[in-house]
Amino acid sequence: MSGYEACAEGALAAGCGFLGYTPIQPSFGIVRRFITRCAETGATFVQMEDEISSLAAVLGAVWTGRKALTVTSGQGFAQMMEHIGLGVMLETPCVIVNVMHDGASEGIPSMPGGGDVMQARWGSHGDYEIIALAPNSPQEMFDLTVEAFSLSERYRTPVVILFDPVLGRMKDSVNIPEAAKIRVEKRKYYKGPKDGYLPYKYDEKDLIPSMVDISQGYRFHVTGLTHDEKGYPVMNDECQEWNVHRLVNKIRLFADKIVRMEEKYLEEADVAVVSYGVVSRDALTAVEAARKEGIKAGYFRLQTVWPFPEKRIAEIAAGIKRFVVPEINFGQISLEVERCSRGRAGVDAVYHAAREVGKPGSILKAIQKTNK
Amino acid sequence: MKADPRDVFTGTYYIDGDVAMAYGALAAGCKFLGGYPITPSTEAAEAFARIAPRAGARFIQMEDELGSIASVLGASWAGQKAMTITSGPSYSLMMENISLGAAMEIPFIIINIQRAGPSTGVPTCTGQADVMQSRWGGNGDYEIIALAPDSPQEGFEFAVKAFNLAERYRCPVMLMSDECVGHMTEKVVVPEASKIDIEPRRFYKGPADAYLPYKRDPDLVSPIVKAGDGYGIYITGLSHDEKGHPVLESGNSYDLEHARALNRKSTDQYLVDKIRKNRDKIIEIQEENTEDADVVVVSYGISSRVAYRAVEQARQEGYKVGTLRLITVWPFPEERIRELAGRVKGFVVPEINYGQIVFEVDRCAEGRANVVLVPHGGASVHQPEDIYAAIRQLLESKKRYENVFEFRTILERKVFGGGMLKNRS
Amino acid sequence: MDKILEALSKGIEKSGIGRKRVCLVTDILYDPEVLETLKIDLFHTSRGRTIPFATGMKLANPKLKPVVIMGDMATLGGNHFVHACRRNMDLLVICANHFVYRRVEGESASGDYDTVSYSPYLLFENPLNIPHIARSCGSVYTARWTALHTDELTRSISHGLKKKGLSVIDVISPPAELLDFYYRHSEIRNGEDTIHTGIEEEKKIIVGEFLERERPTFIESYNRQLEEVLGDQFVKIEV
Amino acid sequence: METINTIQEQKHPMDDLLRMDRIPHIWCPGCGIGNAVSAFAEALRKLEYDLDKVVVVSGIGCTGRVAGYIKTDSFHTTHGRAIAFATGIKLGNPDLKVIVISGDGDLVSIGGNHFVHAARRNIDLTVICVNNFIYAMTGGQVAPTTPIPAYTTTSPFGNFEAPANVPQLAEAAGAVYVARWTALHMRRLADSIVEAFNRPGFSVVEVISPCAMYYSRINKLGDGLDMMQFYYNNSIIRHGESTDNLNIDYQKEIIVGKFVDRERPAFSESLNEWLRKDQVE
């Protein structure tokens, strides 16, 4: 199964019932798989006129009780920025799959890229936090897509899955467990009396308000404007503080629970290679090659790019000399690593590592250099 | 080069920041505005529409923001200085075409009057939460320049500066103002044309058949031509080579050798390199009393004016507090922060968001100085008391923070009481 | 070379407006080699944003006559199309009506080509009647041809280039192997009411020149209105 | 003991349909949006439809605030994207009745593409477009519907762009039901909304409404009521009129009525049929 197909299967396994999309290279593999499985799963789909409306339709569908997905790439993702903001403000769980391609604007559509990582975090106006996952194999495409739906329901936030066309086309065996064994977080529904429902009354413990579906008789109102507990617009700084502070903290304070990462050979390492997505495959090869040469290299992979594993990076930084951060861009996550290492370990960014996918030469060279 | 007297409406005005920016843009020679109404930036477009026909400049209100930014790109390629004015959600809609503009290396400016977000937020009130977005909002890798004025007068001056930088480096320049500055009415002096320096567009002057749209000079910027000059240019948002022709992968399989060849041909890296290489020429900061400071307050835009009050108070009480105001928010003055981090106790960063530039400061502080964020959800400005208290707290604290320290403001305590704080470690 | 570009090149020649004045704004990826024949400036923009890009160009340099070839017109750029027609911007818009998203591996066109369903989107969706939308929104010249109607297309392009205001030419240009199929299934009906030019299953494709009329262009209206109000203070847009 | 007769608290018939806890609303005195809302509420009352199954979606702008006052499940979304958002709701749960209420700038300018394509797909939505010829929320800028040569803040020397003809655009794109009324045609408007509501497919009702604050003030057209009456007195009812003739000139007569009423297969029908066929193959 290819990465694209694994992603579509993961979405369906997580109970996704709606796909809104606009065809754009190179994300189409997911759409094709999803559509062919629609008839048997009862899911529905719509091909919208542009990416703006794709995400808008997805947000609408979510409020009817479905889990919803949109897939896109590059410029399409850039068009979605406004509605990521709306999704955050309405606290609408949904999953956005972004197949990153190389370069700014249209770049090189069929080449892998990593330039949208910061965009996923900062792309929409205003303050918010988001969750972004970066799988590195078809199996993980499946697992993390399921996880993405879980996280989005748990934290009521849009979740972005970042991968690239190389992973999308990569064929590998994917183990899809039985339906009973796939655990997906259930939506947090309100269960009290009908007239007592307040759309944005949050739980003190997790800061998450509970949802209801359209047509259940709650007659609720939600708005993208700054709103109070009732969901009605209130235009003052206190209410703005009430919204923004919580939107940010509902993820920031629980980052430890969200963060997923993979570590190898990090004990007694001198150099740690921090990577994510397709590059991490080469990073691991490079680390192992370096270890054969006697360099004490360690391997650290981000499965959740956002929130960033700040604490863990700081811990690792205390024990090593240098970080090597290979990325398919001109320095994005390397900046975060630099920040979190707090001056304890230097950071070497390896730019555009992926133009050499399949040959970890530049990463290995960077590791060797740190050892000198 | 000096400004064209026909474009400069010399005089002393009592106008708001939005209008001042429109005057500034006209003075810089802007001849095209593609706009779409959105609070709180509309006044600028309205002012432009009123004045522009007299200066031979054109205003068109497009059907949406995607249209307005695309029309700006087109107008710029047709040889005119062009800009758009926007805010909040509209700015998010423009991200795709900002990325296109950066990739095509088109000089243009965007005036973003920031408002409180996310989403529709509080349209009529201020915010500073689009700062990271202007740097990272488009897809792919590119660098931009962003300026943050703190008064209507600066709104005028920075609009001119923004056009100059855009023409100089052929890149998008963001004028990141905010609702406060935009709607603040103050004295604005528009000088005579002979006192305004203008960077003319660098047109190519060599023979037509030798023209390469992306052949760079030592500053990594290339001269430009106009559409309709007969050069037969091919301009694309795809990754391109010197000629502007797209470099594309052949077939679907991933071919390593081919990828290497593309890497050599593509000019993508110059989108970031041209700014990074010229950082020192671009970066502007305004420092006061940083020489002997124990604490430096790093701020930009309207927050710097609020901070000024707190700093004054702290200095009166004998604390050694300096200020560093970012005039160019992007590129960020990394080196200077690194230098200061070595000798100050810490930085206080007041911004009307929950942490954006403060992370950059924290990164450059490299753990050598404490960094305190004075956050603000938006819709109003900080209370100087908060900034003052943050300065005091920083001076008194003995331990080294493991991350950015989020100061608890009066507003936060008022809104949440003990509620949200319980969760804070 | 692409049939549309071939016709465009001949059309520019025929119209005699000069290659320097024409520039091409498109969201379809053409090989740069086409410029050797076309000898005009070519701008490859983001999907669907061709018309506003050309609008900006026209206003910044009114001497230009931007030609827009839209690949994804019917979807992403629909709104710009509607409003450019309304404003009557002085552009020539050619809709390369692929019936399918050409760059996405021919989604709708997969399957048996002989029973191909006339749909630019999904197999079951209703296609947009482009000439009718154009007419309703205010374009001054509307025609439709298949890419194999070479002479007619050239004539239309030449006419559109000379015509003041927004001209729309809907060109049925499916993947090469289907060209002939559509050509055979077309019927020329000049002057047909655009209400009947919808592309429907089991029916012939109506082609021809459907509409020709005069309306003031954006720049003409702009000049007239502002001159009236501002008088000498107004700096006119020189065309 | 003598009982004192107090005035009994009475329930207004619209209390159940509007969010009374949000009244007073934000609209200016003399605005026509209130009329559109009461006509809509009246239509809901006449329909006797299960209000739990009705969803109101609106975009941004003065009319965009309508969703906040209607007591059904209601969504106030982003600028221009109300129709796209509503499309998602309708496809997510086809049992719902989804109504989009928004302004001319929101639906026809920035949302023009979604308007065209939702009509083309024939998504089962009812769109109520309150046309006040201006962007009012942002302070009176030129809209695509502004007649020539009305003055606005971004057409300070008079508008020169040809205005859009909303019914014609709707018809050309494929709407199945198109009507237009002015804000004072309260009963006819309510009846039209009922009809549109019951019609499967994409239906559009345009409401010509005064903007007392900006459009009227800048152009010196009197107060809101004057304008409302002017529109009403200058309207000519012509059912079935060709949409070609529906352009609105500055302070001239306005043709109102029901212009289009036809049948086309709705999106969900076509989708389901396609899925069934696909399954068989």
Q: Is the pLDDT of residue B421 over 60?
A: no
Q: b/e map of C26-55 (b: 16 or more CB within 10 Å)?
A: bbbbbebebbeebebbbbbbbbbbbbbbbb
- pLDDT band at residue B68 using 50, 70 and 90 as cut-offs: very high
Does residue D249 belong to any structural domain of this protein? Answer: yes
For residue C88, the SS3 value is: coil
Please answer yes or no on whether C83 and D109 come within 8 Å at the CB atom: yes
Distance (Å, whole) CA B96 – CA B80: 22
Q: b/e map of D262-281 (b: 16 or more CB within 10 Å)?
A: eebebbbbbbeebbeeeeee
The identity of residue C227, as a single letter, is E
Distance (Å, whole) CA D68 – CA D78: 14
Whether the CB-CB separation of B86 and B92 falls below 8 Å is answered with no
Please, how many CA atoms are within 13 Å of residue D31, restricted to the half-sphere of its CB? 21
Does residue C238 belong to any structural domain of this protein? Answer: no
Does residue D9 belong to any structural domain of this protein? Answer: no
Q: Is the pLDDT of residue C111 over 50?
A: no
Q: What is the pLDDT of residues D209-237, one digit of tens each?
A: 999 989 999 999 999 999 999 999 999 99
Distance (Å, whole) CA D115 – CA D144: 14
Cβ-Cβ contacts under 8 Å for A240 (sequence gap 6 or more): A226, B116, B121, B122, B125, B377, B378, B379
Least confident window among B137-151, B280-294, B395-409, C78-92:
B395-409
State percent of chain B over pLDDT 70: 94
In chain B, how many domains are there? Answer: 2
- Of B164, B166, B111, nearest to B143 by C-alpha is B166
| For range A313-336, the mean pLDDT | 93
Cis geometry, peptide bond prior to residue B118 (ω within 30 degrees of 0) = yes
Q: Is the pLDDT of residue A356 over 80?
A: no
Residue D251, by phi and psi: left (phi above 0), alpha (psi -120 to 50) or beta? left
pLDDT of residue B160: 97
Q: Is the pLDDT of residue B251 over 70?
A: no
- CB-CB neighbours of A361 under 10 Å: 13
Distance (Å, whole) CA C90 – CA B57: 18
For residue D152, the SS3 value is: coil
pLDDT of residue A359: 65
| For range A159-179, the mean pLDDT | 91
Does residue C37 belong to any structural domain of this protein? Answer: yes
Does residue D113 belong to any structural domain of this protein? Answer: yes
Nearest to D121 among C86, C126, C133 (CB): C126
Q: Is the pLDDT of residue C100 over 50?
A: no
Q: Between the CA atoms of C157, C158, C159 and C161, what dihedral angle is there, to the nearest 10 degrees?
A: 80
Please, how many CA atoms are within 13 Å of residue A75, restricted to the half-sphere of its CB? 30
Does residue C153 belong to any structural domain of this protein? Answer: yes
pLDDT of residue C107: 37
Domain harbouring B78, CATH code = 3.40.50.970
For C58, name the nearest residue in chain B, comparing CA atoms only: B75
| For range D17-21, the mean pLDDT | 90
Contacts of B124 in chain D (CB under 8 A): none
The CATH T-level fold of domain A260-371 is: Rossmann fold (3.40.50)
Distance (Å, whole) CA D73 – CA A214: 6
Strands D125-131 and D97-103: what pairing? parallel
- Of B330, B304, B287, nearest to A335 by C-alpha is B330
For residue D238, the SS3 value is: coil
Does residue B317 belong to any structural domain of this protein? Answer: yes
Helices in chain A by DSSP H: which ranges? Answer: 3-13, 28-36, 38-41, 51-62, 74-79, 81-90, 117-122, 138-155, 165-169, 237-252, 255-258, 279-292, 310-319, 333-341, 361-371
Domain that holds residue D143: 20-280
Chains touching B by CB (3 or more pairs below 8 Å): A, C, D
What is the CA A278 to chain-centroid distance, rounded?
A: 14
Q: How far is D202 from chain A (nearest CA, A)?
A: 16
pLDDT of residue A37: 87
Using a CB–CB cutoff of 8 Å, tell me whether C121 touches chain A: yes
Please answer yes or no on whether B74 and C56 come within 8 Å at the CB atom: yes
Q: What is the pLDDT of residues B72-131, one digit of tens each?
A: 999 999 999 999 999 999 999 999 999 999 999 999 999 999 999 899 999 999 999 999
Contacts of C89 in chain B (CB under 8 A): none
Does residue D151 belong to any structural domain of this protein? Answer: yes
The identity of residue A236, as a single letter, is N
Q: What is the pLDDT of residues D121-136, one digit of tens each?
A: 999 999 999 999 999 9
Which segments within B244-342 are labelled E, that is strand? 285-288, 295-299, 321-326, 328-330
Does residue D12 belong to any structural domain of this protein? Answer: no
Name the interface residues of B facing D (CB cutoff 8 Å): 35-39, 42, 45-46, 49-50, 53, 59, 61, 63-65, 89-90, 119-120
Where does chain A hold its CATH 3.40.50.920 domain(s)? Answer: 260-371
DSSP character at residue A50: S
What the block records as the tokens of B6 is: 């026909």
The identity of residue D255, as a single letter, is I
Contacts of B82 in chain C (CB under 8 A): 56, 60
In chain C, how many domains are there? Answer: 1
pLDDT of residue D187: 95
Q: What is the pLDDT of residues A62-110, one digit of tens each?
A: 999 999 999 999 889 999 999 999 999 999 999 999 999 888 888 888 7
Least confident window among A37-51, A256-270, B296-310, D25-39:
A37-51
Cβ-Cβ contacts under 8 Å for B404 (sequence gap 6 or more): B355, B358, B359, B362, B371, B372, B373
In chain D, how many domains are there? Answer: 1
Mutate to test the interface with C, among B26, B60, B69 (most CBs of C within 10 A): B60
Whether residues B189 and B292 fall in one domain? no
| For range A199-208, the mean pLDDT | 90
Does residue C239 belong to any structural domain of this protein? Answer: no
Distance (Å, whole) CA D275 – CA A47: 14
For C233, name the nearest residue in chain B, comparing CA atoms only: B54
| For range A267-283, the mean pLDDT | 92
| Burial class of C112 by CB neighbour count within 10 A (0 to 12, 13 to 18, 19+) | exposed
Domain that holds residue C190: 3-233
Q: Tell whether the torsion through CA atoms of A139, A140, A141 and A143 is positive or negative.
A: positive
Does residue D14 belong to any structural domain of this protein? Answer: no
Using a CB–CB cutoff of 8 Å, tell me whether D192 touches chain B: no
* Rounded to 5°, angle at Cα D111 from A63 and C130: 120
Q: What is the pLDDT of residues C37-87, one digit of tens each?
A: 899 999 999 888 999 999 999 999 999 999 999 875 567 888 999 999 999
Mutate to test the interface with C, among B7, B31, B63, B104 (most CBs of C within 10 A): B63
Domain that holds residue B47: 11-195
Please answer yes or no on whether C55 and B74 come within 8 Å at the CB atom: yes
3-state secondary structure A117-153: HHHHHHCCCCCCCCEEECCCCHHHHHHHHHHHHHHHH
Q: What is the pLDDT of residues B145-174, one digit of tens each?
A: 999 999 999 999 999 999 999 999 999 999
- CB-CB neighbours of A131 under 10 Å: 26
The secondary structure element, H or E, covering residue D189 is helix D186-198
Given the candidates 3.40.50.720, 3.90.580.10, 3.40.50.1820, 3.40.50.970, the CATH classification of the domain at A3-181 is 3.40.50.970
- Of B106, B112, B157, nearest to B131 by C-alpha is B112
State percent of chain C over pLDDT 70: 87
Indicate whether this complex's ipTM tops 0.90. Answer: yes
Contacts of C45 in chain B (CB under 8 A): 70, 73, 100, 237
Residue C215, by phi and psi: left (phi above 0), alpha (psi -120 to 50) or beta? beta
Q: b/e map of C113-126 (b: 16 or more CB within 10 Å)?
A: eeebebbbbbbbbb
pLDDT of residue A322: 94
If you count residue pairs, one on A and one on C, with CB atoms under 8 Å apart, how many are there?
Answer: 27
| For range B262-285, the mean pLDDT | 87
Please answer yes or no on whether D275 and A39 come within 8 Å at the CB atom: yes
Domain harbouring C171, CATH code = 3.40.50.970
Q: What is the pLDDT of residues B320-364, one digit of tens each?
A: 999 999 999 999 999 999 999 999 999 999 999 999 999 999 999
Whether the CB-CB separation of B244 and B211 falls below 8 Å is answered with no
- Of A354, C120, D150, nearest to B262 by C-alpha is A354
- pLDDT band at residue B252 using 50, 70 and 90 as cut-offs: very low
- Of A124, A76, A119, nearest to A99 by C-alpha is A76
Q: Is the pLDDT of residue A11 over 70?
A: yes
DSSP-assigned beta bridge partners for residue B203: B224
Using a CB–CB cutoff of 8 Å, tell me whether A96 touches chain B: no
Does residue D2 belong to any structural domain of this protein? Answer: no
Mutate to test the interface with B, among D83, D113, D141 (most CBs of B within 10 A): D141
Where does chain A hold its CATH 3.40.50.970 domain(s)? Answer: 3-181
Which segments within chain D are labelled E, that is strand? 54-58, 73-76, 97-103, 125-131, 134-135, 141-142, 177-182, 203-208, 235-237, 254-261
Write the DSSP string, D123-150.
Answer: -SEEEEEEE-SEETTTTSEE-TTPPTT-
pLDDT of residue B264: 66
Does residue B310 belong to any structural domain of this protein? Answer: yes
pLDDT of residue C74: 65
Distance (Å, whole) CA A259 – CA A147: 12
Q: What is the pLDDT of residues C179-236, one digit of tens each?
A: 777 788 889 999 999 999 887 766 788 999 999 999 999 999 999 999 999 988 888 8
Whether the CB-CB separation of D169 and C83 falls below 8 Å is answered with no
Please, how many CA atoms are within 13 Å of residue A63, restricted to the half-sphere of its CB? 35
Q: What is the pLDDT of residues D61-102, one digit of tens each?
A: 999 999 999 999 999 999 999 999 999 999 999 999 999 999
Please answer yes or no on whether D142 and B59 come within 8 Å at the CB atom: no
Whether the CB-CB separation of A70 and A99 falls below 8 Å is answered with no
Q: How far is D139 from chain A (nearest CA, A)?
A: 18
DSSP character at residue A282: H
